[in-house]
Chain A
């Protein structure tokens, strides 16, 4: 499976450029789309799932232009929208049954088997007869991923799936997705939560203000910030000063002050130790220094 995004632009009626000449190549496996709120992630997702017609550019799925092959592409898709809270008055299993029918499982027996299978997978089998509205937030999300996965889609697109979930739910969620990534399937995960990507994705892209700032593996992304993450101890008074100078990522209060981690291109006047960066560091570094330098004044 392969998705190519070419020169994709989306300009809304109020002249807001949600996407600006985006080029991306996505291959099988889990793909993380990282970016701050308003970066254009959802717009890109909505174009990919055929809910939105792009202003310019094209998306090729396995070489087929998306705009001319909606039917085929749709039959490969599973989609979990960003908001997934309000349901028609259907029971959990009926909801999945509906999705399964639309995904093209025609035989009732097959459908019910698929439904039960997925309910098991996402741990909703016990509440299968409960109305979908009555599920908890986490359960709704799981139901959401279940409906996206039903009918063995080739492309699964999940938009901000972990927002508002507690850590346990989030981990369970990631596991479901990473299980899936063993197959020949493209999973596109859009998020502004760095942890979602670091634990699951082999490929990623960073989107900011409608443009792709980075595409590659998470390791490459982290490497970019190598040597720019520092650790130091500061007194309570110094804390204010340093947080004005650098983006502080963690601050652990101690007896005499804080132990802090921060990112910077260079450090002057502080007694610091270098820290091995993780994805979160990299993201902050990238957003603060690279992105701003590169694109701020365009």
Chain B
């Protein structure tokens, strides 16, 4: 018999001694202090910069537990290693070992004793989370999470770590080694194993989503509990194993066999859970592969759906649908009618023209034999019921992307694509909840089809979908199609609704009844809301050039665990459906949705500028910021790399309304990849974004595309590479195409015509040939030809630019500024360039989380020109103010960087009589990269060599080298001032020298063993002046100090006929570029200049050397 008295006795004294141990006290105080600080400043937001995740449902308890769990895992390791160690060290233990208590009771008591202490710690932490959430009074409190989180986050981790440490301790019996081993294991699980292997090593719950939605609770509760229980069970197994290994004679005869049985049973259960997880993962994989295979084989369909008429009944855990489709047979090739429907929905009846017919189901496909039909028009009635199988969704998204966490800094939300629950339902197009024609690549471009939808659900629930709503009865609604749409979403939930009308468009806000935290920030706004919305809308439409064409616009709060993926072929994700934006619950923990912060920022700015603004004005600004940063032009300060193939929509940009102006309103029916649609979408989208300069050097996505497109046509690339990685290529090629189209008719005309075309073909399935004809007419080009070349040609333009001459000129009585720049296209194809000239002084400040959404955005003076291959042009601008800078975009020409700032010469104020002009003039002059008397060796040339020996002298060097290796795939990095590489690395940027590719190499300072050399072949002997190009690279992030302009020395060695000459060149911000190294005699043949990595700077840059014949 197990004596609970014994267990509790041991536990009582164990926890008593633990609580008295200084190690535990110090650790506990540290972690409690840290968490308390976080709760005070982060959760209650008493000062500036509250944590935005505090508004998330259960965000505070989740984050508290998450933090504590890491800390307590580490404490537990130390404590438990101490556990048996202490027993061994304390001779008094033997006095207790001879008492009548079983080993089981003893070890269990000890374990409970430790657990008890941690329970206290957990309780304190949760209490502080609760307290400060109450103080902050922004988020609604969900009491159950305060019970569930410690049970599913804390407990399994603790028991596992304790059991594991106990057991390891009995095996190794050396505390130090055990510590290292256990902490190493935790680190390994955290930093390496992470979410790999079905997250089986995610002991700390670092890669598991515990986010609880107020709408739908946890994602996959069963899976979550199973996964966490696994650690609990294994922890118990380890505890039993510790009992097995306890150095004390067992008390009862059968205790060891019983222990063994216990361990086997628990391990068996764990094995079953793991097996279950494996099977599930395998099933998902198999299903996804099967769907992908089936999709690959899809031919173009003979059928078209003309209209949907759907009746949907929302049951607690399923839906039941009767769908009537009006179909047309457009070809008669004898193909079966293939439809796509989520495999979780099972068909109960299939009727064509009131006659029941046979069908074959294979994963998501339904094949119906409709060959025998005589008429072209027919009606199909499908009855189906069931739920949505999320595993069948997004088969084109890679496993890796799917495995990536849905992180909300730093909490994890789930990734659920659809919801069918008793009180909530969310279905988007991707869920395939209504049948679509299984056409070749049907998922990249859906046809516009009208849908009438009748929904039956619980009376108290709100139903949100497209179309005009009529209430047919209690909980029964009819939605009638206003327009044919290419996507239908359906959301049912217990929502609070707010409505207003602007420009006869109905604006709705649907949010959870407990999520009214935003209201206090907009108390004065009531009547103003429509006006502000109208302002924002007008402003956006002015920029975009096209008008909103739905009757409604709804922002619908959706469960935090809802997730959608970005696709290459569209800027629309499932987070935007026609007429609606699915907004993440409580703002998704994003900085821009932290209204408290937004308001404080605005208040501060107002204070600083000493403005007097009314509360209403301030609230309007908060509102504009909120709307702008979420729906118009989302952006956030962000360190890190863009994700491959994601085009312009970054993760936080998926709620922008842009798709409602194009992706969900216009469609060109293309065979295969929707390249033109992408091009057009991208062209429109660029109108909203300001061109931003990249100050850090390195390659823009466009530059990467140029490298990719070297000697490749678009078609070839699509053939060669995975289209999923070509998002940027499509985008860049798209904007190049449209830039070409503008040339003949001018930007304004082209744009207004294009806008008209877009608006006139709304909700139409526009045929490619029609579109091409229209576009040809608009652009006054043979568009079919242009399009073909665009697809198939790999020729490039390549531009050479002079510096920009600026003259002060007199026009009438006005003083104006004339800019002149000479440009040559020395490539093998005509090309487009676009100049942006900024005048006057710079306006606006910088700020880390400053909203980029500014109503009075500075208008840049932008002008595009087409330059023929082999020709040289002078380009003139006339400005009212002195120019600040001139940047030029060369699109997909050979120039890298494609966006470069030209050198502005000093203003010439003496020659007011100069002949000024605006626009393009062909010039007879020839522009050359170099003089005939010059020999230039650039770092891109063959004569340039790098020597990398002598690296990795210190551990730091080695570490840096390791870090660099990770980035090896990046061809041209940007300069890392704070951590230069150990070996020479290429960098690109307009401050470097180069014919078309402006690049250099750089390296951290060294001992001289690392160097670069320029090796030229001189044709004639004689005196040469030698120059080296030293670019002006200064860090633009550091504050300017005097020391920033200190002299940097570069150590060159010139090898000439009389030996070698060491030349030390001093460079600073005012003295750089081509630096004179001296005049030397060289015989015909090889000549060499070397640059050592010895310098007084942190890094050294090697770029180009030239020899100029005297």
Chain A interface (Cβ within 8 Å of chain B)? 49-53, 68, 70-72, 74-75, 77, 79-90, 94-95, 98-99, 101-104, 106, 144, 147-148
Contact = CB atoms under 8 A, between A and B. Distances in A.
A79 B99 CA distance: 9
B78 to A, nearest CB: 16
A99 B89 CA distance: 18
A52 to B, nearest CB: 8
A102 B96 contact: yes
A132 to B, nearest CB: 8
A101 B99 CA distance: 10
Contacts of B251: 70-71, 74
Nearest to B22: A89
Contact of A84 (B13, B17, B86, B95): B95
A52 B249 CA distance: 7
Contacts of A72: 100
Nearest to B253: A68
B250 interface: yes
Nearest to A88: B17
A101 B100 CA distance: 10
A79 B17 contact: no
A94 B17 CA distance: 11
Contacts of A49: 94, 98
A71 B100 contact: yes
A79 B139 CA distance: 59
A98 B113 CA distance: 14
B880 to A, nearest CB: 82
Given A98-B13, A101-B9, A88 B92 contact: yes
B94 A102 contact: no
A99 B99 contact: yes
B248 interface: yes
A50 B89 contact: no
B881 to A, nearest CB: 78
B101 A89 contact: no
Nearest to B8: A101
Contact of B91 (A81, A89, A102, A106): A81
Interface in B182-200: none
A16 B13 CA distance: 38
Contact of B99 (A80, A82, A86, A102): A102
Contacts of B652: none
Given A102-B101, A103-B100, A104-B100, 15 more contacts: A52-B249, A70-B251, A71-B102, A71-B251, A71-B252, A74-B101, A77-B100, A81-B92, A84-B91, A85-B91, A98-B13, A99-B99, A101-B6, A102-B6, A148-B95
B13 A99 contact: no
B86 to A, nearest CB: 7
Nearest to A67: B249
User: Which of A50, A72, A106 counts the most B-chain CB atoms under 10 A from its CB?
Assistant: A50
The 8 closest A-B pairs by CB, nearest first: A75-B100, A74-B100, A102-B99, A101-B9, A83-B91, A49-B98, A89-B20, A79-B98
Contacts of A95: 92
Contacts of A103: 99-100
A99 B250 contact: no
Interface in B228-271: 248-253
Nearest to B91: A83
A144 B95 contact: yes
17 contacts: A51-B97, A68-B253, A70-B250, A70-B252, A71-B102, A74-B98, A74-B251, A75-B100, A79-B94, A81-B94, A84-B91, A86-B90, A88-B90, A89-B21, A90-B17, A98-B96, A103-B99
User: Which of B10, B89, B91, B99 counts the most A-chain CB atoms under 10 A from its CB?
Assistant: B99
B16 interface: yes
A71 B98 CA distance: 9
Nearest to B3: A104
Contacts of A51: 94, 97-98, 248-249
B1076 interface: no
B118 to A, nearest CB: 18
B959 interface: no
B5 interface: yes
A85 B94 CA distance: 12
A77 B96 CA distance: 10
B94 to A, nearest CB: 5
Interface string B9-43: 11011001100110000000000000000000000
A82 B94 CA distance: 10
A94 B99 contact: no
A101 B14 CA distance: 13
Nearest to B248: A51
B731 to A, nearest CB: 67
Contact of B249 (A53, A83, A89): A53
B81 to A, nearest CB: 16
A94 B92 contact: no
Given A77-B98, A79-B98, A88-B86, A102 B9 contact: yes
A64 B578 CA distance: 86
A212 to B, nearest CB: 23
Nearest to B96: A102
Contacts of B91: 81-86
A70 B249 CA distance: 9
Contacts of B6: 101-102
Contacts of A106: 5
A103 B1048 CA distance: 81
Nearest to A159: B94
A89 B96 CA distance: 15
A94 B13 contact: yes
Contact of A81 (B17, B89, B95, B249): B95
Contacts of B92: 81, 84-88, 95, 144
A79 B95 CA distance: 6
B100 A87 contact: no
Interface string B701-739: 000000000000000000000000000000000000000
Contacts of B5: 101, 106
B104 to A, nearest CB: 12
Interface string B600-643: 00000000000000000000000000000000000000000000
